Structure 1
Amino acid sequence: MKIITGNDLKSGAVTWWDGKGWSLHVNDAVAVEADAAAIIAEEEATRRVTGAYTVDAEQGADGIRPAHIKERIRALGPTVRLDLSLDPSATPDRVL
């Protein structure tokens, strides 16, 4: 199946075409097959989304899963535990 992803023009958030508008949740995405180019053109023209493109995805038991790792990261978030990320307030004031 093919689904559409893009970024919300105002916030930059990753969005997914749900058949009527844009959702922040990949599981709301709908298959678009032949209509993708027309949907992308119309949505970019109305300035609701930017950088929209189609991606391959599969409907599984846990919901929609983009086929490529890049889109899975866009859909599901960081690939590391958030508690392992750097705390900017704890970094030194100067770079060595």
Structure 2
Amino acid sequence: MKILTGNNLESGAVTWWAGSWWSIHVEDAVDVGESGEAILQREEGARRVNSPYIIDAIATDEGPRPAHIKDRIRALGPTVRPDLTLKPADPDAGDWVI
């Protein structure tokens, strides 16, 4: 499974490609398969995110999870304080639909 990630240009928030928009929730990420490079080129041209890139992910019951630890931390937050992680339904997270 391949998913796209980047950072919101206005807020710096980590974002995930959700099929037609960018979400701050990794659970919204979709498998881009072989289309990843084409989507990256289009999105870099649209300048909606900073430095988007393709990563490997693993499908789980909770949604996709990045395969590499660096991107898991970007997706799920701190590794030592689970109470600080961004919850999918967290009303304080805001709606960063780009």
| Class of the TM-score when normalised by the shorter of the 2 chains | 0.7 to 0.9
Separation in 2 of the partners of 1:81 and 1:31? 29
Unaligned runs of 5+ in 2: 84-98
Does the 8 Å contact 2:14/2:74 carry over to 1? yes
Q: Name the SS of the counterpart of 2:64 in structure 1.
A: strand
After superposition, the CA RMSD in angstroms is 1.5
Amino acid across the alignment from 1:59:
A
What's the CA shift for 1:14? 0.2
Q: Deviations over 1:40-78 (max 9, x none)?
A: 111111110111111111111232111110010000001
TM-score (norm 2): 0.79
Unaligned runs of 5+ in 1: 84-96
Q: Name the SS of the counterpart of 2:19 in structure 1.
A: coil
Q: Deviations over 1:10-33 (max 9, x none)?
A: 111100000011000001000001
Paired residue total: 83
Separation in 2 of the partners of 1:55 and 1:24? 16
Does the 8 Å contact 2:28/2:63 carry over to 1? no
TM-score (norm 1): 0.80
Separation in 2 of the partners of 1:14 and 1:64? 15
Amino acid across the alignment from 1:56:
D
Separation in 2 of the partners of 1:81 and 1:60? 22
Q: Which residue of 1 aligns with 2:56?
A: 56
- List structure 1 segments (4+ residues) > 3 angstroms apart after TM superposition: none
**Rg larger for:** 1
Q: Which residue of 1 aligns with 2:4?
A: 4
